[in-house]
């Protein structure tokens, strides 16, 4: 493409993946990580998560406000680091997850985010319908709370049998859930991630076309899922080109081509498109982020006008 990608997307970085010490909401270097992203004008958006210290959270909100960067709030760590499950079959346990996610909505508002994203929890095949009903109950409550603040709720589509073993996807099941939610409210959407698509045994074209009416947010990253014995197998979001992985420049280019063909390049209302990349072992986080920028720059340059 000859035109800048920034015309069509709000490019973002998921801070708590690039700097995974932020996942538990207790990293003393949180402000330093956020400042590095906020001062890099390659990024139009940053995706944050919980910050337990109130003073640090207020300082983070101020930093993000003055930098004129879009703020997104990922509530996934609130679930993944605690074992909370929004579709838990036991009602008391489901409510614990719901309450944490309502706290996330309040914290997102404080940080200047327009909503939250979360994921469905684990499930068993013989009680899948009950889990679906439990997730619907949680999500409706979240959407009600968010709507009162003028905010939105997004559910991220994950793998269903590799690592997270989340109730939602694959894509057709995610479409069913989204359709049910949209019949209830208009502030719900789906978040799709290039790195999760190989783990649901689908293609970007199939996922984007299947979920097109409901997609409100995009992630791009990598995964190792072809060989269960390979280093880093699972939902680890390694850098592009990691040995034995699924995604590099050609796959990101295919993703961009699909998004373009399906109308997801709207300069009037650019969607957030964020890197979800994570250092593997002792890799330098900043080098991993630089890797992602180079891959996107090349893929965008190869994308036909």
CA 54 to chain centre: 24
Please compute Rg for the chain using Cα positions. 18
Cis preceding linkage at 170, omega within 30: yes
Among 118, 112, 102, which residue's Cα sits nearest to residue 154? 118
pLDDT at site 135: 98
pLDDT at site 176: 98
CA distance 83 to 58: 27
CA distance 198 to 201: 5
pLDDT at site 218: 98
pLDDT at site 30: 98
Domains of the chain: residue spans and CATH: 5-302 (3.20.20.150)
CA distance 18 to 140: 31
Residue pLDDT, tens place only, 153-179: 999 999 999 999 999 989 999 999 999
The answer to whether residues 187 and 151 touch, using CB atoms and an 8 Å cutoff, is yes
pLDDT at site 42: 98
pLDDT at site 136: 98
What string of pLDDT tens digits covers the 305 residues of the chain?
999 999 999 999 999 999 999 999 999 999 999 999 999 999 999 999 999 999 999 999 999 999 999 999 999 999 999 999 999 999 999 999 999 999 999 999 999 999 999 999 999 999 999 999 999 999 999 999 999 999 999 999 999 999 999 999 899 999 999 999 999 999 999 999 999 999 999 999 999 999 999 999 999 999 999 999 999 999 999 999 999 999 999 999 999 999 999 999 999 999 999 999 999 999 999 999 999 999 999 999 999 99
CA distance 87 to 137: 8
220: part of which helix (H) or strand (E)?
A: strand 215-220
3-state helix, strand, coil in the chain (%, to 5): 45, 15, 40
pLDDT at site 145: 98
What three-state secondary structure class fits 184?
coil
pLDDT at site 123: 97
């Amino acid at each position: 493409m000859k035109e800048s990608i920034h015309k069509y997307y709000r490019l973002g970085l998921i801070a708590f993946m690039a700097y995974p010490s932020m996942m538990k909401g207790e990293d003393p270097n949180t402000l330093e990580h956020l400042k590095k992203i906020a001062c890099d004008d390659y990024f139009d958006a940053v995706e944050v998560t919980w910050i337990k210290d109130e003073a640090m959270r207020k300082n983070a909100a101020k930093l993000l406000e003055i930098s004129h960067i879009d703020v997104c709030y990922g509530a996934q760590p609130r679930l993944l680091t605690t074992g909370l499950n929004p579709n838990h079959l036991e009602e008391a346990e489901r409510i614990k997850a719901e309450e944490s996610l309502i706290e996330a909505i309040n914290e997102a508002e404080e940080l200047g985010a327009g909503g939250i994203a979360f994921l469905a929890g684990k499930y068993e095949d013989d009680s899948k319908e009950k889990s679906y009903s439990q997730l619907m109950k949680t999500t409706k409550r979240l959407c009600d709370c968010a709507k009162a603040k003028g905010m939105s709720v997004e559910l991220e589509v994950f793998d269903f049998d590799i690592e997270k073993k989340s109730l939602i996807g694959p894509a057709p099941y995610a479409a069913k859930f989204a359709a049910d939610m949209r019949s209830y409210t208009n502030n719900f959407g789906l978040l799709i991630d290039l790195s999760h698509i190989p783990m649901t045994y689908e293609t970007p074209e199939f996922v984007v076309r299947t979920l097109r009416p409901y997609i409100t947010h995009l992630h791009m990253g990598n995964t190792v899922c072809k060989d269960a014995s390979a280093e880093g197998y699972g939902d680890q979001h390694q850098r592009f080109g990691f040995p034995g992985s699924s995604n590099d420049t050609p796959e990101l280019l295919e993703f961009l081509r699909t998004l373009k063909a399906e109308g997801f390049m709207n300069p009037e209302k650019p969607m957030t498109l964020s890197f979800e990349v994570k250092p593997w072992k002792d890799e330098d986080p900043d080098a991993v982020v630089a890797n992602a920028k180079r891959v996107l720059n090349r893929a965008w340059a190869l994308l036909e006008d």
